[in-house]
Amino acid sequence: MFHEPQLVPSTKTKSRVLVVDDEPRLLTSLQSLLQLHGYVVDIAEGGKAACRKVTEKNYELILLDLRMPECDGHQVMNFLAENGIDSAVIVISGETSFTAVSQALRRGAYDYLKKPFSNEELISTAKRVLEKKQLERDHAHMHRRLKESSILHQYIVDSSPDIVFMLDKQGCFTFLNDKVVNLLGYSKEELKGKHFSSVLSSKDLLSLTEAIEDLERGTTVRNVEVKIKQRVESHTKRFFELTIFPIFASALSPTKSSSVSHAYPTRGLSAASQNAKPDDIIGIYGTARDITERKEAQDFINFQAYHDLLTGLPNRALFKDRLNMAIARCRRHHNRLAVLFLDLDRFKVVNDTLGHAMGDRLLQSVAERLQKCLREGDTLSRFGGDEFVLLLPEVTTPDDVRGVARKILRLIKAPFHLDQHEVFVGVSIGIAVFPDAGSSIDQLIQAADVAMYHVKKRAKEGYQFFSDTMVVNASNRLEIERDLRKALANNELHVYYQPKVDALNGEIIGVEALVRWQHPEHGMIYPSQFIPLAEETRLIVNISEWVLGKACEEVKKWIEAGYRHVQLAVNFVQAQIEHPQFVDLIRSTLAHYQFPPENLEVELTENMIMQDLEPLVAKLQALAKEGVTIAIDDFGTGYSSLSWLKKLPIHTLKVDKSFIQDIRDNDEACIVNAIVSMAHGLKLNIVAEGVETEHQLDYLRKLGCQEVQGFYFSEARPAEEAMEMLSAYKQNSVGLDRTH
């Protein structure tokens, strides 16, 4: 005859339950509900009260909230574990995140109920947990009673959640429990007599073989993780943790029947193995625990920890780890490696215009294209935002890196199609080569970042190798800034002059004023090392005004000495030309030093003229009326419009030295050809910067470039030396002493 299930637990005595929460009304409600179903119930308002009560009484079950002030549920579970209190715990909480549930279960919670819950759910869960706890106690009791009997081993094998198996000395299966059917699909009869290699891959076969060899050398137990083949091929990989023990002949009791001994030979294994010799091993006993879910969780956690979830690329942590290994290999073999820091140009425009979702798709598309540039062993990482970093672990020459950089530029330059939108972006690449740019992980990444910033500053997608002149060391940055503020007052700044030479006859026809800083402790500091800092701190305005005044004062003396043709070129920064008094400043400076306006050339970068064109036109036209000539510096690195070039009162274009330095390259030569032809068409004077070789000079002469400037003729020199160069030209008319 069947009866309805009882509401009270099926134990001889009433189970004692402790309810822990920080809400008095919920405590009272749960106490009444549980008492109604036959439980003896105590309540604890908060974690601290719970910790006191569990030390005073024994509770079969604790209903525990997680979120409580002062002492939360996790701390209570830690207290139970630390004090060896064996109470079953059911967590009752409003937290439903995977992390919260996982932490609670790892700390020993038997179950997890989400608030709000039904009364039936609570009572059913409490009953199930108590029954499970009772079963665990019964199992432990049975284990103690049957520890030395074959009945215990029979029970373990039959109820084990793992595959239990035995191998003979040749490695063939002699016993398997029923779990092999559920987990792998094999019947026990199919595998008996077969070698264990029939269910393992070659890689896992080697691992298990090595583990068995360890047992034969005297190891008492070995654990090894393997993937076991399923009977029916499946896309899901199943991983198992094998625990294997040696079976010694002396461990088998002669009083047992042979069938029992061979099926369950673990009786006395530990004791017997202490005196047994490896030669006594007659087989292997083991268990195979299914750890597929654990492996998948570990793999997913590891992937999250070391990869960017949007693009699937390695993240900063994994990149640094691989860079560290690559540096170690380079040190051992005296090789070189390169780090490329990539930053997308115009990505913000796409993100702001089309939205973040479309921006994410663009980043994914960029990542796919960049991976096409990788060689075997290269690592591409996303550092965040629109920044990517590429590791080339083995490079022989800079040309190796240039080839990769140019391929990246070419691939990214092609349009991206996002739904109905056609999107164009560029990329700026900074390159740091080990060991030239740094010997540590952070130094190389920072150097590549700095080089990339210099490309960005030119407002041109391209690449740039890092050099020591690019950055002020972060450790003395504050010191340099402090000293820079005092440099003008202490007369530490000096104006140097680099000659501009007639390309045909070598005559000095002008000079460019360049500032140098003679630091009292650090010696000569060049503009590239302090001008970026001066721009950030707005000190550049005062420095530029001082350079203009000082250069006018010194060059005026040359003009009075008979060098009336010498033209003075002075660079101006964005902050100056945007100032309403820019034109008045130049006028007042020229008037103060009685400097001829026609001998002054104002140099502006191409990027500056594209920032605020309308007001700039009026300012430059006012200067041109005064007789001042206007030059565009670094031409070819920006995005100027030909229509605006015609509207501006420009007299000179200065070709950026980056195009001159590698003039043998067909692409760079084509750019120089185009700029010179365009300048001739617009009837503009053309100046080539950065001329360092005779080959470059000859090439520029043939193109019809009127003026050249660079180390092939002279580096920048102080006023006295520049005056001597002028005198030497005038006396000899054969060109100056060239400094290579």
Burial of 637 (0-12, 13-18, 19+ CB in 10 A): buried
Q: Taking the CB of residue 161, how many other CB atoms lie within 10 A of it?
A: 10
Tens of pLDDT, residues 481-540: 888 889 988 999 999 999 999 888 888 999 999 999 998 887 888 787 788 778 777 888
Full set of structural domains in the chain with CATH: 16-146 (3.40.50.2300), 153-296 (3.30.450.20), 307-470 (3.30.70.270), 484-732 (3.20.20.450)
Greater model confidence, 657 or 594: 594
Burial of 628 (0-12, 13-18, 19+ CB in 10 A): buried
Q: What is the Cα–Cα distance from 410 to 717, expressed in whole angstroms?
A: 40
Tens of pLDDT, residues 546-563: 999 999 999 999 999 888
Q: What is the Cα–Cα distance from 218 to 267, expressed in whole angstroms?
A: 19
Residue among 660, 656, 709, 654 nearest 684 (CA):
654
Q: What is the Cα–Cα distance from 462 to 20, expressed in whole angstroms?
A: 64
Confidence (pTM): 0.44
Q: What is the Cα–Cα distance from 110 to 112, expressed in whole angstroms?
A: 7
Tens of pLDDT, residues 56-73: 999 999 999 988 888 988
- Could you please report the per-residue DSSP string of 357-382? HHHHHHHHHHHHHHHTTPPTT-EEEE
Q: What is the Cα–Cα distance from 95 to 623, expressed in whole angstroms?
A: 71
Instruction: Specify the pLDDT at position 278.
Output: 59
Q: What is the Cα–Cα distance from 339 to 431, expressed in whole angstroms?
A: 6
Average pLDDT over residues 606-627: 79
Query: Residue 512 to residues 140, 203, 464: CA-CA distances in angstroms?
Result: 92, 70, 24
Residue among 527, 555, 553, 524 nearest 540 (CA):
527
Q: What is the Cα–Cα distance from 570 to 564, expressed in whole angstroms?
A: 17
Tens of pLDDT, residues 396-407: 888 889 999 999
Instruction: Specify the pLDDT at position 632.
Output: 87
How many CA within 13 A on the CB side of residue 358? Answer: 17
Residue among 644, 636, 640 nearest 673 (CA):
636
Query: Residue 220 to residues 150, 213, 248, 666: CA-CA distances in angstroms?
Result: 21, 11, 11, 71
Q: Is the predicted pLDDT of residue 9 greater than 50, yes or no?
A: no
Average pLDDT over residues 572-597: 89
Percentage of the chain modeled with pLDDT above 90: 30
- Asked if 426 and 420 count as a contact pair (C-beta separation under 8 A), the reply is no
Tens of pLDDT, residues 293-315: 888 888 788 877 888 889 999 99
